[in-house]
């Protein structure tokens, strides 16, 4: 049986992402989750990703490896820029949540809006989209909008309030070709954002799961 470990920084992603992952596989898989909110909350306090966060992230990845995972999926976009430096230290593959989503965004149009509820997510996501656009030889315009209060509501269990605030934020994005919900925890708002704006909405879980399936089928 294949074993996948999910590394989360928001506890609310735990249940929803796991169920999507299990539903995507025809065979039975073992899914374990590690929730480390410190990785985001401490970065928010400091205003950057400090050395203690890097150390703790590596320890989390090594812990998943020690538990016998075949693949690690990191579900927080804020961590994506720091994964590359650790890949060579691990014997198993690590999938970041946003890589395919960034490519899909670059393919979807010229004017792209990135919505986030954590400030640490904006730069990694916008940089990821720009990198993919450069590789495709495309010119893109990326705007970003942040609503930290939506994250606070989600942590309190108010998913409806979280989704409503994000829908309002999506409307503020105006005339764009595609709207990117930068964090996996924001995926619950996708339908409402689409309904309010009529725009294409991209979320990270689906594309990430497809990448993990491909790795496990090798």
What CA–CA distance (Å, rounded) separates 138 from 128?
14
pTM, two decimals, is 0.73
- The alpha carbon of residue 93 and the mean position of all alpha carbons in its chain are separated, in whole angstroms, by 17
**Rounded to the nearest 5°, which phi and psi values hold at 19?**
-65, -40
Q: For 31-65, write each residue's pLDDT tens digit.
A: 999 999 999 899 889 988 999 999 999 999 999 99
Q: For 108-140, write each residue's pLDDT tens digit.
A: 999 999 999 988 889 889 999 999 999 999 999
- Please, what is the end-to-end C-alpha distance for the chain in angstroms? 14
Domains defined along the chain, listed by start: 2-98+206-216 (3.40.50.1860), 99-203 (3.40.50.1860)
Work out the burial of residue 195: count CB atoms within 10 Å of its CB; fewer than 13 is exposed, 13-18 middle, 19 or more buried: exposed
Residue 163: closest CA among 12, 42, 28: 12
Q: For 1-26, write each residue's pLDDT tens digit.
A: 899 999 998 776 666 778 888 888 88
Residue 209: predicted pLDDT: 86
Residue 136: predicted pLDDT: 95
The yes-or-no verdict on residue 160 having pLDDT over 70 is yes
């Amino acid at each position: 049986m294949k074993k996948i470990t999910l590394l989360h920084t928001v506890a609310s992603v735990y249940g929803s992402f796991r169920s999507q992952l299990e539903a995507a596989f025809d065979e039975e898989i073992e899914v374990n989750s590690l929730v480390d909110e410190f990785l985001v909350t401490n970065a928010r306090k400091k205003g950057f990703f400090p050395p203690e966060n890097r150390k703790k992230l590596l320890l989390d990845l090594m812990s998943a490896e020690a538990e016998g995972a075949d693949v690690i999926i990191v579900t927080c976009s804020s961590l994506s820029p720091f994964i590359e430096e650790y890949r060579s230290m691990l014997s198993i593959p690590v999938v970041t949540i946003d890589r395919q989503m960034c490519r899909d965004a670059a393919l979807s149009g010229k004017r792209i809006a990135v919505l986030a509820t954590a400030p640490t997510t904006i730069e990694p996501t916008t940089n990821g989209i720009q990198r993919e656009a450069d590789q495709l030889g495309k010119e893109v315009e990326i705007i970003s909008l942040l609503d930290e209060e939506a994250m606070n509501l989600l942590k309190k269990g108010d998913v409806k309030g979280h989704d409503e605030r994000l829908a309002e934020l999506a409307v503020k994005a105006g005339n764009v070709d595609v709207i990117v919900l930068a964090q996996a925890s924001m995926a619950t708002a996708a339908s409402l954002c689409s309904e309010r704006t009529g725009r294409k909405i991209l979320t990270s879980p689906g594309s990430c799961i497809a990448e993990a399936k491909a790795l496990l089928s090798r």
